[in-house]
Chains A and B, each alone.
Chain A
């Protein structure tokens, strides 16, 4: 693993046995110099990783067992932070809301892009138009999307209620009411993000060999049968990968509940919002927030491990 540029000394020795010694030390000297140079090139990068990902990971775990009060040095409290979490009713609410969000986001954000991609792959006109349309929301800063939808959701003269009124349908409180709040958040998030998954599916669809469809057609398979027995099995790998990416991303949902319903609303508080709240607003308790992060990390790590396994398997 560490051996990489050592192929040449052997050749040199075989070719010119008498000069083997001096050449070798010369090479070794150059190797040390090369390594120093390489690490000089990498120094800034390694420092950034050390400071902002490796060290914080370790520190986060340590913090979760500590009390941080900014008066004294942080001190060890064992499992107290975790106990405090389990005693906080909001902790369970946040997990429940997060799972609801992830579940709903999977139903919408997972099935819809797949459907759109299959459809767009069949349409032979306006390809650029469709591609731009579906990906444009992904490009917008998330805060723009969320604030725009805040106006759409306005229970008074928001666009959505105006349309419902026009169609003589019952109006909705959207983000303001417990029962529809979560689904309203999922709708915004889906609108903003489905373009990414759609384009990935489209790329995968274009990679399906046409002969498979031809063969199926010759065997008398209808369009639906071709979709079921050719398209979907061919997409299986990318579907699994996107499923896991989607789970990992949606479990960290923050901006939608933060901006649309605030950090105190128990109907929509999510794990990330609660971490933010513990650390930066109400409690100012970094230990508690770190403990919550560790729990979220463990859950996400399980999904990440599955994801890593799958993508590794796919490359082979």
Chain B
């Protein structure tokens, strides 16, 4: 443990110590109120009857207990369908991203083709492109893909293919592959392994940590995305949970308690992923910060 602004010696002084615990208590309570209370509010409101929900002042511990709201949201708001859609988009998008980006990163890192650096540079340049700049032309591209001329609107590919063009993933993967010694690959090659075989049996098993981080971020990214799915999935049957919740809250007469249940259901996978992979998520985040 390195020392920080205030030293341990200072903290041992009775007055500083008292102040420290006062601040600690205050911050603990404040964080609970600011960051956890809204989530508690959401989950507990979903258990109320609509009339209790409308009470003013509100009840902080629900007097009614209507777990049926969750079931209603699941079936009547058809959350089950949107949930399944989103899970399908997230898993498919994760797979497509992983296959496409690993292949690019492997080729750039280990096969080192001519103009490889130019290709990498052009890909990295796209990181500087704000989504806003591409919104309209990318939409037009998806609606009528050049050369092949297919319409991807309302298909999963409208989410998967643009997501695969992820320069950040490629950069992170390439940096990791660069650290794998070429000798290891050469000896596999002498043993008769082809390039694909080397990727599969040597490079990928060594890259588990970085593949994990890339996977988590790919799934979180698709689950959280809103504007792009809003544009390319206008068919209600095909929508993601986020887009469907937005549409339902704008148009229909969903009771607020049912809506709250829907919000809780939409949050659960992200909260679970976060609690399980906290370390990699926070680590990946700070690594991103340090590398720029």
- Is B122 positioned at the interface, with any CB of A under 8 Å from its CB? yes
Q: Which positions 1-54 of chain B face chain A at CB distance < 8 Å?
A: 2-7, 11, 23-24, 27-28, 31-32, 34-36, 38-39, 41-42, 45, 54
**Given A49-B123, A148-B263, CB of A301 within 8 Å of CB of B128:** yes
Chain B binder among A10-18, A102-110, A122-130, A176-184:
A122-130
Assuming A129-B28, A252-B131, is B278 touching A121 (CB within 8 A)?
A: no
Residues of B within 8 A of A86 (CB): none
Within 8 A of A (CB), among B114-140: 114-119, 122-123, 126, 128-140
Number of interface residues of B (CB under 8 A): 103
Output the residue of A49, A55, A135, A213 with the most chain B CB within 10 A. Answer: A49
Within 8 Å by CB of A57, from B55, B106, B133, lies B133
Tell me if B92 counts as interface (CB < 8 A to partner A).
no
Q: Is the CB of B38 within 8 A of A142?
A: no
B242 touches A143 (CB 8 A): yes
Q: Is B71 an interface residue (CB 8 A)?
A: no
Contact of A49 among B111, B165, B271 (CB under 8 A): B165
Does B285 make an interface contact (CB < 8 A)? yes
B138–A56 touching, CB < 8 Å: yes
Known contacts A60-B136, A133-B35, A293-B132; A121/B4 CB under 8 A: yes
Contact mask for chain A residues 187-230; partner B; CB cutoff 8 A; 1 contact, 0 none: 00001000010011011111111100110010000010011001
Q: Which of A1-36 contact B (CB under 8 A)?
A: 1-2, 4-5, 34-35
B192 within 8 A of A: no
> If the complex has contacts A199-B282, A241-B292, A252-B130, are A5 and B112 also in contact, measured as CB distance less than 8 A?
yes
Q: Point out the residue from B113, B133, B138, B266 that lies within 8 Å of A296, measured CB to CB.
A: B133
Answer whether residue A159 sits at the interface, using C-beta atoms and an 8 A cutoff.
Answer: yes
B226 touches A139 (CB 8 A): no
**A59: chain B residues within 8 A (beta carbon):** 137, 140-141
The CA of A53 and the CA of B124, in the complex, are separated in Å by: 11
Q: B275 contacts the other chain (Cβ, under 8 Å)?
A: yes
A residues in contact with B136, CB < 8 Å: 60, 63, 275, 279, 286, 289-290, 293
Given A2-B114, A39-B107, A41-B111, CB of A57 within 8 Å of CB of B137: yes
Bound CA–CA A53/B133 (angstroms): 10
Of chain B, the residue at the smallest CB distance from A200 is B289
| Residues of chain A at the chain B interface (Cβ within 8 Å) | 1-2, 4-5, 34-35, 37-39, 41-42, 44-46, 48-49, 51-57, 59-60, 63, 118-126, 128-137, 139-144, 147-152, 156-157, 159, 162, 165-166, 191, 196, 199-200, 202-210, 213-214, 217, 223, 226-227, 230-231, 238, 241, 248, 251-252, 254-255, 259, 271-272, 275-276, 279-280, 286, 289-290, 293-294, 296-297, 300-301, 304, 307-308, 310-312, 314-315
5 A-B pairs within 8 Å (CB atoms) are namely: A37-B111, A44-B99, A157-B58, A165-B57, A300-B130
Q: A148-B260, A151-B45 are in contact. List 9 more A-B contacts (CB 8 A).
A: A44-B99, A45-B100, A53-B134, A129-B31, A133-B36, A150-B249, A151-B256, A213-B5, A311-B292
Which residues on B are within 8 Å of A, measured CB to CB? Answer: 2-7, 11, 23-24, 27-28, 31-32, 34-36, 38-39, 41-42, 45, 54-58, 99-101, 103-104, 106-108, 111-119, 122-123, 126, 128-142, 145-146, 161-162, 164-165, 167, 170, 195, 220, 223-224, 226-227, 231, 241-243, 245-246, 249, 256, 259-260, 263, 266-267, 270-271, 273-275, 278, 281-282, 285-286, 288-292
